[in-house]
Structure 1
Amino acid sequence: MILIASSNGAVGMEAGWAILQAGGSALDAVEAATRPVEANPDDHSVGYGGYPNVLGEVELDASIMDGTTLQAGAVGALRGFRHPISVARQVLEELPHVMLVGDGAAGFAAELGMQPENLLTPPAEAAWRAGLDGRLPEEFRHAQGQIMERMLARATRLATDPERVAGTVNFIAQDAAGRPASAVSTSGWAWKYPGRLGDSPIIGAGNYADDRYGAAACTGWGELAIRAGTARSVVMYLQHGYALEDACRAAFHDLGALGLPPEHCLMSMVALDRHGQHCAISTIPGRTYVYQSSGMAAPAELPRLIVPVTGS
């Protein structure tokens, strides 16, 4: 058994590991592990307290995948519900769809009996106001201080904060039966255009699991992972016989084909192969990840391998 996560997933490791130790499924474990992160108001990249879009609205994305059945569920641009991972899980379980977004996702959450709430905490709101004040000229505001809706695209380009791109939480688990599952949850890019989806809810981009080969989950600039199909690429390289670290490196190498300067390719990844070997890489120095496996009394935190993106 093993559970791995991005470093901000440390607060959820106990909940996820308890399920694995009790003989529960990897799918249950990654959902349970994600929920404490979504409820953590001090994590501004996920769930309650996450940074809002350019209008000050918190929009959440999440996905979950069962590596044994290849079933998946995802939600995007979900407002008013702090646990998008559990809504995504119920999409997987209850609907013939893979993804719901916006009002459809919120309506489904309400149908499940989940209670809506305001997800914008005072610290996140203060950061949003400070971020806009520091980037937008006065022409973008009217008397109430709201951004003019007809100018949202330009306002988003000016306000989007490159220092707040690389949030998100990832979990990958393999249970006692060898079944893998993966989960990703995020509030997305700070001050984003309303309705923007990154890679987190996109199966194959930010999240993928297949018990024949392995699993991978991403954080960082989600648009890049969408364009390159990064999580699925790792699993594909494993399918073609690559060792786990080599598969991760190859997927990062593919980002070079996108034609961006290397310093703009902000990306991190956790991955697991079918043998339970784990790996975490990043283009960003200083990033870590956490894991716990059979025989360990507590999770351990390790540095990620630094893998720069170069042109292909």
Structure 2
Amino acid sequence: MFKLLILLLYLGLNRYLVVSEPNIPVVITTWWFSNSTVKAWEVLKEGGSALDAIEQGASVCEVQQCDGTVGYGGSPDENSETTLDALIMDGKTMNVGAVGALRRIKSAISVARHVLEHTKHSFLAGELATQFAVQMGFKEESLSTSESKQLWLKWHNQNHCQPNFWTSVKPDPSKYCGPYHQIKKNEDMRPEVQMIVDKYNHDTIGMVAVDSNGDVAAGTSTNGAKYKIPGRVGDSPIPGAGAYADNEVGGAAATGDGDIMLRFLPSFLAVEEMRRGASPTEAAQTAVKRIAAHYPDFMGAVIALTKTGQYGAACHGIPSFPYVIQDKTRNIFEVITIKC
């Protein structure tokens, strides 16, 4: 009888000790950027690192100008120039490389990788980030195209610089182009501009990957918000905002209204929620709800991935949000669309 009790006790405890095989390698990508996901997966399935997968996957979108919101030739600023932001984070070392307002260099995610690997810094910005890129062997070239120039001309000449991101200035930014000059806030309390997030203005590609060694990496690349004030940097290249990775937990990435989302570090929050035991979907929902509690009209989404390959997403302010997943359980990538 005693031996039977011991056996039953062992069997009862043993079922809690069974750990399912991790679903790795795996990559998850915001929106429907399947070509980037496929490239990242090709790296991972051949035994490549998560960092390489993120860099090479995001590079595909930069070259293909995904939806006009990633890479050169999209989202001109008020001066008609396209500038780029990018981030790559190594969850094994917790090291980061990022660039903001990068000018005249097409490969923003690769420049960010060089910041990570060839400097003791984490973030370089503007014209001097371009100078660094040139030193690293990158080619300077215009990021404008005939399409981006036409887009800017219509905005400036036909639409009288509407929409724009100015407030408490004169002349009235809701009616006229600049240059602008500050006025007292009580003279003009124009509401904060909300970025419209749709297929052609969602601000970024975000990616998270776990490789065969269990190493986690995350990254972003974007050309920012259309008609932004020159020098603007959104959430995409900011660690914890645009993306975050930690080998102990997993990673997350965000997309949408970057000027608002960066204030809440949604990617960091999602990872910390997973650390506390939340599922990826629950973690993403918590991050999104935190923002919505203060800005109920914001538009955006968060994707999350655990170190063992569980994944999920949450969104707000848009009808639906697609993301792409590729792992060893699928013959091809899968686009998953969630309602917001």
Q: Give the TM-score normalised by the residue count of structure 1.
A: 0.88
Asked whether the 8 Å contact 2:32–2:322 carries over to 1, the reply is no
Deviation at 1:211, TM superposition (A): 1.2
Q: Which residue of 2 aligns with 1:197?
A: 233
Alignment-mate amino acid for residue 71 of structure 2: G
1:161-209: per-residue Cα shift (whole Å, max 9, x none)? 8336523101111111111111101000100000101100100111101
1:69 lines up with 2:66 in the alignment: no
Match of 2:106 among 79, 82, 85: 82
Asked whether the 8 Å contact 1:161–1:191 carries over to 2, the reply is no
Match of 1:115 among 139, 147, 164: 139
Q: Which residue of 1 aligns with 2:321?
A: 287
Which residues of 2 match residues 35-74 of structure 1 at below 5 A? 35-41=59-65, 43-74=67-98
Deviation at 1:126, TM superposition (A): 1.4
Which residues of 2 match residues 186-225 of structure 1 at below 5 A? 186-225=222-261
Going from structure 1 to structure 2, the CA distance change for 1:287 and 1:134 (only over 3 Å counts) comes to farther
Asked whether the 8 Å contact 1:43–1:49 carries over to 2, the reply is no
1:28 lines up with 2:52 in the alignment: yes
1:276 lines up with 2:309 in the alignment: yes
Match of 1:102 among 122, 126, 132: 126
How far apart in 2 are the matches of 1:251 and 1:137? Answer: 33
How far apart in 2 are the matches of 1:41 and 1:205? Answer: 22
How far apart in 2 are the matches of 1:37 and 1:225? Answer: 22
Deviation at 1:127, TM superposition (A): 1.7
Aligned residues: 293
Deviation at 1:13, TM superposition (A): 2.1
SS of corresponding position for 2:277: coil
Q: Which deviates more, 121-130 or 107-116?
A: 121-130
Task: State the superposition RMSD in angstroms.
Answer: 2.3
Deviation at 1:247, TM superposition (A): 1.2
Deviation at 1:134, TM superposition (A): 4.1
Asked whether the 8 Å contact 1:9–1:170 carries over to 2, the reply is no
Which residues of 2 match residues 107-186 of structure 1 at below 5 A? 107-136=131-160, 148=178, 150-151=179-180, 162-163=195-196, 165-186=201-222
How far apart in 2 are the matches of 1:190 and 1:201? Answer: 17
Q: Which residue of 2 aligns with 1:310?
A: none
1:264-301: per-residue Cα shift (whole Å, max 9, x none)? 21111211012210112211213211111014221111
Asked whether the 8 Å contact 1:168–1:188 carries over to 2, the reply is yes
Going from structure 1 to structure 2, the CA distance change for 1:242 and 1:63 (only over 3 Å counts) comes to same
How far apart in 1 are the matches of 2:194 and 2:153? Answer: 12
Deviation at 1:59, TM superposition (A): 0.9
SS of corresponding position for 1:163: coil
Deviation at 1:15, TM superposition (A): 1.9
Q: Which residue of 2 aligns with 1:242?
A: 278
Deviation at 1:116, TM superposition (A): 1.1
How far apart in 2 are the matches of 1:14 and 1:227? Answer: 32
State the percentage of identical aligned residues: 34
How far apart in 2 are the matches of 1:253 and 1:70? Answer: 26
Asked whether the 8 Å contact 1:41–1:121 carries over to 2, the reply is no
Going from structure 1 to structure 2, the CA distance change for 1:236 and 1:114 (only over 3 Å counts) comes to same
Instruction: Note the residue ranges of structure 2 that are not aligned, 5 or more in a row.
Output: 1-24, 163-169, 172-176, 184-189
How far apart in 1 are the matches of 2:339 and 2:305? Answer: 14
